[in-house]
Amino acid sequence: MDATENKGERGSRWALIAYDSIAPAYDDFTAHHEYDTWLGNLMPKVEQHGLHGKRLLDVACGTGKSFIPMLEDGWEVTACDLSPAMVEVARSKVGDAAELHVADMTELPRFGEFDLVFCLDDAVNYLLESDDLERALAGMRANLAPDGLLMFDVNTITTYRTFFAEDVVMEKNGRRLIWHGRSTPDAEPGSIVEASFEVEPLEPGGKAIPPEFHRERHFPEAVVLAALESAGLECLDVYGHTDDAIPEQPLEDERHHKAVYISRRAA
């Protein structure tokens, strides 16, 4: 299936299907994602803009890997995700230590006033239209305290020309986890790409997860900056980083793997 055929579809629909499916295997497949290190590198970049207080809203929190280090650092955490299955995995880890909700970031409720709102690990790339990106950012803005800060990341074109164009197979806990990238090494900036993920049991009685598609759109820096402005946000900093998770400036879309944006309410 050509991902461009689905350009008119709401990205949130595909993300819900994909992540409800992947939830039982997500932590195994992303075991190498070191959020402690990543946040340890990113938080000083936020703090230099005058971060006050420890109230966090984690949008698209997944299984809780992004907010658990913040809980351990004494933050008061509210978190939400589109996928009920992912939220339940997160709840199984933290119980009532965090306030957890099921919510679509394009229709984000106002949960309160937060000193920091973040949305990490390419969640906004599942929004296939710029209008959806603007709605999501506006919803995050509505949850900021007057002096609150917003941080989010997007995948660069390099990621869509590499990881989304590769096959990754790993065996863990009696299962074979299979990622099949359907992009190409010459994917165009701004394009919609897709990959599939499935699980094969390696032991009798194991549960298979049939292939589900992950569809994402590449958002160039100019598009993100325009969406921030439309959502009433002021961009404070943009960083890029490779797999070492060390933020660098300037952002280089054809070298870095992720772009990280820090913003606040526009004056």
Helix, strand and coil in the chain, % to nearest 5: 35, 30, 35
224 and 206 part of one domain: no
Give the distance from CA 217 to its chain's centroid.
Answer: 12
Which range of residues forms the domain containing residue 195?
159-216
Q: Quote the percentage of the chain above a pLDDT of 90.
A: 94
Per-residue confidence (pLDDT) for residue 52, from 0 to 100: 94
Q: How many CB atoms lie within 10 A of CB 189?
A: 15
Quick one: CA dihedral 15, 19, 22, 28, positive or negative?
positive
124 and 254 part of one domain: yes
Question: 3-class DSSP state for residue 26?
Answer: helix
- CA dist 152 and 122 (Å) reads 8
Per-residue confidence (pLDDT) for residue 2, from 0 to 100: 35
Residue 3 covered by a domain:
no
163 and 65 part of one domain: no
List pLDDT tens digits, range 214-256.
999 999 999 999 999 999 999 999 999 999 999 999 999 999 9
130 and 194 part of one domain: no
194 and 86 part of one domain: no
54 and 139 part of one domain: yes
Residue 2 covered by a domain:
no
Residue 88 covered by a domain:
yes
134 and 193 part of one domain: no
65 and 174 part of one domain: no
Residue 4 covered by a domain:
no
97 and 23 part of one domain: yes
pTM (two decimals): 0.95
> What letter represents residue 265's amino acid?
R
End of a domain among 216, 233, 251? 216
Per-residue confidence (pLDDT) for residue 9, from 0 to 100: 53
End of a domain among 216, 236, 255? 216
Q: How many domains does the chain have?
A: 2
110 and 207 part of one domain: no
94: tokens are 């933290």
Under-70 pLDDT residues of the chain: 1-11
165 and 142 part of one domain: no
- CA dist 240 and 245 (Å) reads 9
